[in-house]
Amino acid sequence: MMLQRQAVPVLGVEATPLDVAGLTGVLNRFVADGTTRTVVGHNLHSVTLFHSEPEFRKFYEDSDVVLIDGAPVLWLWGRGKHHAVPVMDYRLGSTDWIPALGEVRGLERIAILGAGPVANARAVAKLQGIVPGATVSGMPGDGWNDDIEEAAVEWLAEQRPQLVLVGLGMPLQEEVLLRRLGSLPPAVYCAVGGAIEQIAGIQKLAPRWLGRLGLEWAWRLVLHPRRVAYRVLGEPWVLLGLLVRRRLQRRTAAGSHGSSRTSGP
Q: Which residues of the chain have pLDDT under 50?
A: 265
| CA 230 to the chain's CA centroid | 20
Does residue 171 have a cis peptide bond before it, meaning omega lies within 30 degrees of 0? yes
Q: Which residue from 133, 164, 192 is spatially nearest to 27, judged by alpha carbons?
A: 164
**Sign of the alpha-carbon torsion through 204, 210, 211, 216:** negative
Secondary structure of residue 176 in the 3-state scheme: helix
Under 8 Å between Cβ of 16 and 63 = no
The confidence score (pLDDT) of residue 3 equals 86
pLDDT for position 265: 47
pLDDT score recorded for residue 243: 74
Predicted confidence at residue 65, as pLDDT, reads: 98
- DSSP secondary structure, 191-245, as one string: E-TTHHHHHHTSSPPPPHHHHHTT-HHHHHHHH-HHHHHIIIIIHHHHHHHHHHH
pLDDT score, position 86 = 76
Give alpha helix (H) positions in 14-101.
20-33, 44-52, 54-62, 71-78, 94-97
Per-residue burial over 77-94, b if 16 or more Cβ lie within 10 Å, else e, is: bbeeeeeeeebbbbbbbb
